[in-house]
Structure 1
Amino acid sequence: MSTALHSVTSSKFGRIIWLGLVCYAAPLASATAQQVLPGIVVSGGTLDPGVIAPTGEGQPGRDTPGIPTERIGSSVTVVSGEQLRAAKVRDAGEALRSLPGVHVSQQAGPGSLTNVRIRGGEANHTLVLIDGIEANVNSDGAFDFSDLLVDDIERIEVIRGGHSGIYGSKAIGGVINIITKSGRGPITAQAAVDGGGFRTRGVAARVSGGNDKAWLSGSAQYRRSEGFNVAPRGSENDPWWNRTLALKGGFRPIAGVQVDFSLRHTKKYVSFDQEQFNALTGLNEATDANNRSLSEMFLGGAQVRWDLFKGAFTQILRASHNHTDLNSVTTFGQTQNISTLTKYGYLATYRFTTPMLLAARHSISGLVEKETEGFTPRASFTDGRERTRERLATVGEYRGEYLRRFHFAATVRHDDNTSYRDFTTWRTSISVPVPEVGIRPHASVGTSVALPGMFEQFGSILGTFTGNPNLVPEESFGWDAGVEFTLPGGKTKIDFTYFHANLKNEIRGFGNTLSNLQGESQRQGIEIALKSQLTTWLYFGASYTFLDAEEPSGKQEIRRPRHSGKASVTAKFHEGRGTFHLAALYNGRMKDDNFGTFPATVVTLNDYVLVNAAVSYKVHSNVEVFARVQNLLNQNYQEISGYNTPGIAAYAGVRFKFVDPSTLAWAKYR
């Protein structure tokens, strides 16, 4: 038995999870379903853009072409828009908490820096795409998930495991692919207002409409909170606000040609505390201070898709731009870091069949992509010089389906870099659904790479940090293997996956700078995911992750719990007009660095359980009232050493929806 498996089965929490899943699954094994779980299509994790098929908004097909999950060997979790609306989460960080293999670290409360790690990787090992546009900030290579409000999100795909063979740098731990709502359908106006704990108030509005010829969606979101006291021994609240504007649309000028575009602008203000040494505790802790930051992010992208030969041959020309401006004022002075990322690409996919040879279907894709990164530090103690680095990538992918059962994919990518040596990454995966017995073995293996963030190389914070221009890219080799079980009736699925990865040249802090560690870091673990439709009105979901993440020295990686899990229940009532959602999240003990000593020492953060509840009810076909309670048990916990987290808080609001009936027939026009 492997070390990881032994640790799971021998731990108290692990035994509870295993026993609970077995006890839950046993009685369902003989049950018959009234309705099978819906199929899920994934648009990330592959070059093949999928075949466009006419469907309504938010359903697999024309709005969101992709590949069915049963044909993909990667481990995938999809959070649907319906799930987001049931849980009444406000930002993407909340939505991702305790998903299989995923850990969220938030520096304080809503609005504060929120990092997402997948399978023990760093925050900059998670590639984030919003409508196909890379959202990572190249200053540190990560994405702050508190920036992303969820009111206009249709679904979130979490694709675990290294994917540099497709996407290049950053995709070591996995990919989070976010798709926002499209504009197809009758002309509709929606608005929502809510408020509650910590003097929080929010408003969101969206107008959309279109048919198969043209469609458009525009949205605006604004949230503001007076915050709470982050400092363990302070009294000052830390306010924040977020304003997000988005525009998404497309049109089909002629048969077979489709043009899509997406624009998104986020402006966020956050007040935050200063970290200082506390002689009474011997720890570095947040201390009341008048620090503040103002950030702006613009994401823009467009593509032209041309389908030929009845969809057998697809060509896509695409371009995107990411511009981020981060201004901070602290006790050490004022800083400004400007990051840019521009991409141009050409993708071609050819699909064909060989009926006489293994009844096979094939897909061959090729991509050429040019990428330019820019970084400009502006402060009195920096040189203010813009630095750029460029990459030219060529990618090839083959996907095959044999005997209507075996699904295989292989991808190779070569990146020609101006600032580092060139590198080649690859990935293969296999999925074999056997519906007759309700099992689907799946596996993947590949290599990945992550370039140093440009702030890590060239940034500076007076008295506390100096970049290291000699950093080299981090490199990873990883694999996973698992089995998905579908119980009789098709309404319950359970997936077990083991994963393992080695990381070379890990970048870690050393004094006031960064350096590459010698040797290999190890990450391994087990992911368990369960989803079930118990009745036509009751849904249950659960997940558990065991993670063993170690540095080359054998030291446990910080801010990565060995045990984490989640269980949730969603119930529909009163003929579907009402929805109740209850979720319990467990985060096991984990390590963190205490920089109150030199060198830094390690502290242990206690485990905790968070219980969140939400309820909504349609008082009218166009009016919905809702409420939610976060941290129902009022748990006192820390996700980062020295920083408080919010206690119990309640929120309530109302949502309005107006549909122009005169456009119902028009919206169906093709």
Structure 2
Amino acid sequence: MKHNNTRGRASAQASFTLVGSLLLLTPPAVAADALTTDSSEDLDTVQVTANRIPQLQNDVLASTDVITRDEIDRLQANSLVDLLQSRNGIEVARSGPMGSQTSLFMRGTESDHTLILVNGQRVANSADGLAHFEFLPLAAVERVEIVRGPRASVYGADAIGGVINLITRGGSEVGQHAEVTLRAGSDGTFRQNAQFSSVEDDTRLSANLHHDESDGFSARDTGSEDDGYEATGAELRLGHDFGQQATLSLGVANTETDYDYDDCYDSSFSASEDCHGEGSQMVLDASLLTHLNPNWDMTVSVARTRDEYENTEAGSDAGRVASTRNEVGLRHDFYTDLGTLSLGVDHREESLDADGPYFTAEGYSVDSRYATGVYGSWHLQQQRHHVTTSLRYDDDNRYGHQMTGGSSYAYDLTAAQQLGASYSSAFKAPNLIDLYSPYGSGNPDLDAETSTTAELFWRLQQHHWHLGLNAFQTDIDNLISYEGADFSPINIDRSRIRGVELSSGWQGEALSVNLAMTWQDPEDRDTGEQLKRRAQRFARLDADYALDDWSFGATLRGSASRSDTDADTYTDTRTAGYGVVDLRTSWQVMPNVKLSAKLDNVFDREYQLVNGYNTQGRYVEGGVTFFF
């Protein structure tokens, strides 16, 4: 057991004031938040997530971030959660060490309101609708594309708060290349990763193997034993160009996890710390891009995701849940003098099975569903005017149909400044547990959660520095809540989130400084209370300096206090704010050897992201990477 205390409101104010003070010392920075490149390179950065088509970062009207492989390596992040923590509009709440249950809140929306993709394919569990971050290893990721704000009119259900798309490593340099990374850290942590790529003529092949393990620490602040974690995975991707006419992409990934956790119950419903779980996920995907003519592209894609979880609680079998998702999509993109027109259709089928001593005799009364969506979008750039509009119709065989849309307009005030606005609608489909829970408390009459979002944005981009400001308001209706002795889900709640995001930074030849700050008011409109586990203010500052073969960096993360539920009494409480400092360094010893080390939570700050659950104390890690 490590951290079990909280601090008062003054702690939150002090930590946020420190970040604010650093802002005054920071030159202005990125509108589009491409954090690791020079401004001129920002203009050339291509992202595909916002509208499902390749676009220059500067032409995308949505609020976006692109995190490159270089930044992932430079920050030495251990997980996607660590990489995303406190970035613009993003908060995470992890209930313990690596492998613990984790919630991600984007722009104050619910934890299942952010659509998580890998190479454009959904990876959330079909049962609870949540992405399990232990299945998303950073070792295999080439870049992370983040879109803040609703994208339901492009992707369909679940993208109320935004979209996070992990693009895996595929090989880009001609020839054969390999790298092996070995790292060791506190709490008995060991990480190994091997990456290989081959690019010859029109064929690209890449493979990634990774293994992480840690003794961890006690998840609960009342616990007495460490909760460990282990994950092993492999990814393989193959791409081939058929001349100038078509490109084929194939991928397979599999990850298996083994983890301990606290607060489970044995067959007599006595609380226990002796909790253990195992999980696995396999993702298969294939796509074929065909250039029908110079102005017409067609893309066909298929994907299959299978995940399974099995828990043993207090030495007894607590149950197994497995889910399968099959997807197929067809999209046509037309490039004309009047802009780019995209038309598409996709179909998704989900099924699951479950068994265990706590399930009802009949299990899931319905164990599958399917949804079909038809969508179109139009993107126009004429002189100083930029327009994007999209419309989508979704039909689900369990809860009916939804129509969503979105429109954005921006005007170039000068060659360096842009002012714009957008308005979009979105929805979240009830998950299969909500609809047909095997525990006997499902509600098949649930409606989809619906939302509308309005946003204003201003961007300034110069050669070495950027500045971006976004203001937004999201209204969500029909939020699913759990009522009664059996915690049956019903549509009852409403919420409203108003917020402002500021991005700022500087990219010089040796020094880079990047800052993200978010002010928001996430409100439960029925009670007037602050939404649980979401702060009204949080920020992140990254600073790095390169000197010959050395690099040095620091990150400061801060958050104000949050509303929460007491883990022991189940009454309303508040979790104190915090400020954490991380340090890092690396040394390119020779062209094929690189050493790196980091010190997280330098001052061993004791804080909690979820009431009653510990976070990582001071943590030291170092490693070596060999390039071949």
TM-score (norm 1): 0.85
Partner deviation per Cα, 1:498-537 (whole Å, 9 max, x = no partner): 110110111223354243353531111111111211x301
1:538 to 2:501 alignment: no
**Against the structure 1 CA distance between its residues 603 and 409, is the aligned structure 2 distance closer, same or farther, given a 3 Å change threshold?**
same
Map 1:44-443 to 2 at 5 A: 44-47=49-52, 49=53, 66-185=54-173, 186-274=175-263, 289-310=273-294, 312-331=295-314, 333-353=317-337, 361-380=338-357, 381-382=359-360, 383-385=362-364, 387-403=367-383, 405-436=384-415, 438-443=416-421
Task: Find 1:525's aligned residue among 493, 499, 503.
Answer: 499
**Against the structure 1 CA distance between its residues 329 and 456, is the aligned structure 2 distance closer, same or farther, given a 3 Å change threshold?**
farther
Matched letter for residue 72 of structure 1? V
1:56 maps to what in 2?
A: none
2:580 maps to what in 1?
A: 610
Deviation at 1:223, TM superposition (A): 0.3
Map 1:543-562 to 2 at 5 A: 543-551=516-524, 552-562=526-536
Deviation at 1:27, TM superposition (A): 13
- Asked if structure 2 preserves the Cα contact closer than 8 Å seen for 1:74 and 1:160, the reply is yes
- Asked if structure 2 preserves the Cα contact closer than 8 Å seen for 1:72 and 1:430, the reply is no
In structure 1, stretches of 5+ residues that fail to align are 1-10, 29-33, 50-65, 277-285, 354-360, 659-670
Partner deviation per Cα, 1:124-148 (whole Å, 9 max, x = no partner): 1110111111111121111122332
- Asked if structure 2 preserves the Cα contact closer than 8 Å seen for 1:184 and 1:216, the reply is no
Partner deviation per Cα, 1:198-239 (whole Å, 9 max, x = no partner): 000110001111145110100011000011122323320111
Deviation at 1:390, TM superposition (A): 0.9
Mapped partners of 1:330, 1:15: distance in 2: 43
Partner deviation per Cα, 1:362-419 (whole Å, 9 max, x = no partner): 111110111111122222333245611111111011111112x322111100012211
Mapped partners of 1:299, 1:179: distance in 2: 13
Mapped partners of 2:341, 2:210: distance in 1: 40
Matched letter for residue 443 of structure 1? A
Partner deviation per Cα, 1:597-632 (whole Å, 9 max, x = no partner): 4xx421100011111112111111011111111111
- Asked if structure 1 preserves the Cα contact closer than 8 Å seen for 2:16 and 2:558, the reply is no
1:573 maps to what in 2?
A: 547
1:454 maps to what in 2?
A: 432
The DSSP-based 3-state class of the residue aligned with 2:399 is coil
Task: Find 1:639's aligned residue among 609, 616, 619.
Answer: 609
Mapped partners of 1:72, 1:26: distance in 2: 20
Matched letter for residue 469 of structure 2? F
**Against the structure 1 CA distance between its residues 36 and 126, is the aligned structure 2 distance closer, same or farther, given a 3 Å change threshold?**
closer
Deviation at 1:302, TM superposition (A): 0.4
Deviation at 1:16, TM superposition (A): 6.8
Matched letter for residue 38 of structure 1? E
The farther-off stretch of 638-647 and 141-150 is: 141-150
- Asked if structure 2 preserves the Cα contact closer than 8 Å seen for 1:291 and 1:328, the reply is yes
The DSSP-based 3-state class of the residue aligned with 1:154 is strand
Matched letter for residue 311 of structure 2? S
Partner deviation per Cα, 1:338-357 (whole Å, 9 max, x = no partner): 1111111110011011xxxx
The DSSP-based 3-state class of the residue aligned with 2:73 is helix
Task: Find 1:473's aligned residue among 427, 448, 451.
Answer: 448
The DSSP-based 3-state class of the residue aligned with 2:262 is strand
The DSSP-based 3-state class of the residue aligned with 1:455 is helix
Name the structure, 1 or 2, with higher relative contact order (CA <8 Å, separation 6+).
2
Deviation at 1:15, TM superposition (A): 7.2
Task: Find 1:592's aligned residue among 543, 559, 564.
Answer: 564
Once superposed, what is the RMSD of the aligned Cα atoms?
Answer: 2.3
Matched letter for residue 417 of structure 2? I
- Asked if structure 1 preserves the Cα contact closer than 8 Å seen for 2:567 and 2:611, the reply is no
Matched letter for residue 396 of structure 1? G
- Asked if structure 1 preserves the Cα contact closer than 8 Å seen for 2:481 and 2:492, the reply is no
Partner deviation per Cα, 1:431-480 (whole Å, 9 max, x = no partner): 333443x311132211101111112233345xxx8433332211001111
The DSSP-based 3-state class of the residue aligned with 2:433 is helix
**Against the structure 1 CA distance between its residues 13 and 499, is the aligned structure 2 distance closer, same or farther, given a 3 Å change threshold?**
farther
2:8 maps to what in 1?
A: none
Partner deviation per Cα, 1:70-93 (whole Å, 9 max, x = no partner): 212211111111111001011111
Matched letter for residue 329 of structure 1? T
Partner deviation per Cα, 1:558-589 (whole Å, 9 max, x = no partner): 01011100111011112xx2222210100210
- Asked if structure 1 preserves the Cα contact closer than 8 Å seen for 2:223 and 2:273, the reply is no
Partner deviation per Cα, 1:127-182 (whole Å, 9 max, x = no partner): 01111111111211111223322112111111011110000011000000111111
2:4 maps to what in 1?
A: none
The DSSP-based 3-state class of the residue aligned with 1:86 is helix
